[in-house]
Amino acid sequence: MSSHERIMAEAERIQALGEASESRAPYAVNQATIGTWLDAMGYDNDRFRQGEAPPSMAQVWTMPGLGRRRPPEDPLSRMTEFLTAEGFTAVLGTNCEQTYDRYLRVGEDVRVTSALDSVVGPKSTAMGTGYFVTSRNTWYVGEERVATMLFRVLKFVPKERG
């Protein structure tokens, strides 16, 4: 079996798991974190100083941060680790497409599910040949979907420098 066949078989296996990973935010949406984020971004809006979180903070609540890790069943991690083992050791660029269904409010508990959306390749770039890996993340409060994100990364084999 060729490397490409192994990669695509692994992608199909992971995709078949569907929303294979779920993480809960360690803390409820809170005003202190919102304020710190606003300060770090150099952005201010009274709406976000009074109990609502900026939509672009959806991912903030469930990011692993220092000392925490993504669940072992996380599909993006599984696929990128598989590609690394196949020799696709470098990462070139990322891209994300986010959709916000509604603002989060202080006190809400957020969870995120992750699924492998697609693996496309091989693709040749000036830097080397690789695969675009896209994961689909969905954030919920209870059973209500509040945001989604497609996150794409190119895992590639660097070209030899001549």
Read off the pLDDT of residues 85-111 as tens digits, 9 standing for 90 and up. 999 999 987 899 999 999 999 999 999
User: Taking 90 as the threshold, does the pLDDT of residue 161 lie above it?
Assistant: no
Cα Rg for the chain, rounded, in angstroms? 18
pLDDT of residue 18: 78
pLDDT of residue 162: 64
| 83 or 18: which leads in pLDDT | 83
* pLDDT tens-place string over residues 50-71: 999 998 898 999 987 777 677 7
User: Taking 80 as the threshold, does the pLDDT of residue 72 lie above it?
Assistant: no
Rounded CA-CA distance 151/81 in Å is 16
Mean per-residue pLDDT of the chain? 92
Residues of the chain with pLDDT > 70, as a percent, come to: 99
Mean pLDDT value across residues 38-54: 93
Cis ω for the linkage preceding 71 (within 30 of 0): no
Q: What are phi and psi of 107, to 5 degrees?
A: 100, -15
Output the pTM of the full model.
0.87
Region of poorest pLDDT, from 69-73, 76-80, 127-131, 147-151: 69-73
User: Taking 80 as the threshold, does the pLDDT of residue 131 lie above it?
Assistant: yes
Rounded CA-CA distance 4/86 in Å is 9
What are the DSSP E strand ranges found in 50-143? Answer: 52-53, 90-100, 104-105, 111-124, 128-141
Side chain identity, residue 26: P
Segments in the chain forming alpha helices (H): 3-16, 31-41, 75-85
Could you give all domains of the chain from N- to C-terminal order, each with its CATH number?
Answer: 3-158 (3.10.129.10)
